[in-house]
């Protein structure tokens, strides 16, 4: 490998100025330079569309040709590999299902880092292990590029409406450039700190969400069995110290709220499999940093057992149903 380009704060600032001078305009100016987008799944596709709507030319790729076709029809340029995207765009967003996909897209034989141009800004919105984000940042830095992690919360609906929340980790000097793109796709963009902290924030939130949801399901079930009306119990919890997002916004008990998965036989929403995946990430980061997470760990196991028992594709609030006595028992 040739001499490594070590990115320092000064170098970064200099690089940005050079780019601006070279292009004759800043990144935020009207005549927008193309943005690469890799991963056109349920989430990535509407995200890329929102960038197009905001006037950014898109150079896209995906494993599945159909996904590409749809975006091509509305004006995106489709290429064959992440490497080709990297040759043509100096800002690239990746939105991929899990860690192995990220490794492949960045470091694989046709990966981004094989062809990336110096000064390129790489934004990964996948939810993965923060340790892998850090590895990608180091690998990107060796190529003179900058890697940021920017995982999202909010589902497919929020992606379509550009209402996602982004939690961003990476070099602070690059945050503004990332923010420019992310605000086209989301309503909240929060800078969390060094690379990996975006993932950390997402993982932490989802772990506490999982704990709160199971806790709410257990509590509601116990209360009902002790003779309490579920709506009344919900009201009491929500005016008391038991209050949480799962009790006041996404109640898992059918009949308590409208417009949530529990009102629709746990269809839609956030699948148990996805929650189990995120808890697996929380578990791995906790294990690797020697951090005790007794409830987080048990929550992980509960959702894992649910996946084995037929709840994989139901919303994660179906844990209420899982814990409840079966009919006729």
Q: Which residues, 197 to 256, sit near a second copy by CB under 8 A?
A: 197, 200-201, 203-209, 211-212, 214-216, 218-223, 225-229, 232-233, 235-237, 239-247, 249-250
Count CB-CB contacts under 10 A for residue 172.
11
* Residues labelled as active-site residues: 202
Q: In this structure, what token pair is assigned to residue 275?
A: 């929650």
- Asked if 196 touches a second copy (CB under 8 A), the answer is yes
How far apart CA 213 and CA 100 sit, in angstroms, is: 29
In the complex, the smallest distance separating the C-beta of residue 181 from a second copy, rounded to whole angstroms, is: 20
- Buried b / exposed e over 94-128, threshold 16 CB at 10 Å, is bbbbebebbbebbbbebbbbbbbeebbbbbbbbbb
Which window, 4-12, 31-39, 80-88, 190-198, contacts a second copy (CB under 8 A)?
190-198
Within 15-34, the residues that bind a second copy by CB under 8 A are none
- Asked if 177 touches a second copy (CB under 8 A), the answer is no
How many residues line the site for a second copy (CB under 8 A)? 88
- Asked if 257 touches a second copy (CB under 8 A), the answer is no
In the complex, the smallest distance separating the C-beta of residue 253 from a second copy, rounded to whole angstroms, is: 12
Among 300, 314, 317, 320, binds a second copy (CB under 8 A): 300
- Asked if 103 touches a second copy (CB under 8 A), the answer is no
* Nearest 10 degrees: Cα torsion 261, 252, 270, 124: 130
Residue closer to a second copy, measured from CB, 59 or 220: 220
How far apart CA 225 and CA 230 sit, in angstroms, is: 10
Residue closer to a second copy, measured from CB, 39 or 170: 170
Within 42-71, the residues that bind a second copy by CB under 8 A are none
Q: Facing residues of 61 across strands?
A: 38
Site string for a second copy, 114-153 (x = CB under 8 A): ----------------x----------------------x
What does each C-alpha distance from 65 to 97, 102, 128, 137, 290 come to in angstroms?
Answer: 17, 19, 24, 29, 42
Give backbone dihedrals phi and psi of 102, rounded to 5 degrees, phi first.
Answer: -65, -45
Q: Quick one: which H or E segment has residue 306?
A: helix 294-308
């Amino acid at each position: 490998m040739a001499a490594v380009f070590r990115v320092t704060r000064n170098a970064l600032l200099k690089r940005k100025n050079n780019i601006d001078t070279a292009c004759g305009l800043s990144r935020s100016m009207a005549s927008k330079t193309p943005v690469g987008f890799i991963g056109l799944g349920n989430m990535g596709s509407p995200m890329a569309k929102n960038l197009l709507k905001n006037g950014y030319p898109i150079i896209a790729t995906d494993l599945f040709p159909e996904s590409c076709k749809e975006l091509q029809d509305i004006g995106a340029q489709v290429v064959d590999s992440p490497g080709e995207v990297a040759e043509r765009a100096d800002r690239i967003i990746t939105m991929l299902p899990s860690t192995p996909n990220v490794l492949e897209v960045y470091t694989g034989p046709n990966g981004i880092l094989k062809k990336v141009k110096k000064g390129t800004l790489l934004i990964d919105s996948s939810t993965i292990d923060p340790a892998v984000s850090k590895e990608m940042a180091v690998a990107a830095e060796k190529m003179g590029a900058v890697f940021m992690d920017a995982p999202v919360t909010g589902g497919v609906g929020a992606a379509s409406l550009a209402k996602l929340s982004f939690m961003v980790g990476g070099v602070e000097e690059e945050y503004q450039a990332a923010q420019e793109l992310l605000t086209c796709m989301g309503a909240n963009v929060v800078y969390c700190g060094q690379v990996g902290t975006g993932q950390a924030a997402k993982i932490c939130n989802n772990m506490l969400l999982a704990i709160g949801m199971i806790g709410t399901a257990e509590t509601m079930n116990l209360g009902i069995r002790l003779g309490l009306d579920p709506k009344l119990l919900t009201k009491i919890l929500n005016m008391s110290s038991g209050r949480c997002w799962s009790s006041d916004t996404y109640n898992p008990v059918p009949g308590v709220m409208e417009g949530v998965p529990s009102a629709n036989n746990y269809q839609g929403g956030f699948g148990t499999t996805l929650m189990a995946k995120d808890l697996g990430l929380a578990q791995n980061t906790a294990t690797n940093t020697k951090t005790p997470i007794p409830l987080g760990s048990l929550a992980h196991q509960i959702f894992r057992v649910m996946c084995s028992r037929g709840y994989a594709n139901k919303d994660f609030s179906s844990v209420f149903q899982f814990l409840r006595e079966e009919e006729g028992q």
